[in-house]
């Protein structure tokens, strides 16, 4: 059986505001399996929002582990991300998980990968998934040429641009903002 995969998650920090969004498409091979998947989760009473791409079951496993780390480190997102990345890279079971995550607080964005990376993105724009490069390019252009837009407006427009180009991204967009 083919894995369900493909998505686009984008987060933008702009003018002191953070927004993170994702499309709703899950694909199996080149077929749309579901069009209204919610790929964002609020943690720590909405103070942290996580977007995930990759295998759904793997992403949920990582979300659970990330939430455990957040609780263990008093909600410190960066510390929790680093500790999760260490486990993800070293643990025999976690190492096999195929997913990526963007974590967002009101003033910080991080990208987490299974290779042990915890990245603070350049230009305060983070993107993962099959349409990530399209969404990231659009967001960077908007930050440069339309700085009057809010972070939420930039995420929405950038994801729509990605959906127009990437067959694994749809226009069923959900956007969240950390508290």
CATH of the domain at 62: 3.60.20.10
Tokens read off for 92? 């025999």
pLDDT value of residue 88: 78
**Out of 7, 8, 56, 103, which one is annotated catalytic?**
7
The model's confidence at residue 150, banded by pLDDT at 50, 70 and 90, is: very high
Contact criterion met (CB below 8 Å) for 34 and 26 = yes
Question: What's the mean per-residue pLDDT of the chain?
Answer: 90
Domain of residue 168, residue span:
4-176
For the chain, how many structural domains are there in total?
Answer: 1
pLDDT more than 90, % of the chain: 70
- Say if CB 9 and CB 51 are below 8 A apart: yes
Helix (H) or strand (E) holding 143: helix 132-145
| Catalytic residue check, 31 | no
* pTM as predicted: 0.93
Report the relative pairing of strands 40-43 and 31-34 from DSSP bridges.
unpaired
pLDDT for residue 97 is more than 70: no
Tokens 């993962």: give the residue. Answer: 128
> pLDDT of 59-75, one tens digit each?
788 889 999 999 999 99
């Amino acid at each position: 059986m083919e894995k369900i995969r493909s998505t686009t998650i984008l987060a933008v920090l702009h003018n002191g505001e953070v927004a993170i969004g994702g499309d709703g498409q899950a694909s199996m091979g080149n077929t749309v399996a579901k069009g209204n998947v919610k790929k964002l989760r609020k943690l720590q009473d909405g103070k942290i929002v996580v977007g995930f791409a990759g295998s759904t079951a793997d992403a949920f496993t990582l979300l659970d582990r990330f939430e455990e780390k957040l609780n263990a480190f008093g909600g410190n997102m960066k510390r929790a991300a680093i500790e999760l990345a260490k486990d993800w890279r070293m643990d025999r079971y976690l190492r096999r998980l195929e997913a990526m995550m963007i974590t967002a607080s009101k003033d910080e964005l991080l990208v987490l990968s299974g290779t042990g990376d915890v990245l603070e993105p350049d230009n305060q724009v983070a993107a993962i998934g099959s349409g990530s490069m399209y969404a990231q390019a659009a967001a960077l252009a908007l930050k440069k040429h339309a700085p009057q837009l809010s972070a939420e407006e930039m995420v929405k427009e950038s994801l729509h641009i990605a959906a127009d180009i990437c067959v694994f991204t749809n226009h069923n967009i959900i956007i969240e903002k950390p508290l």
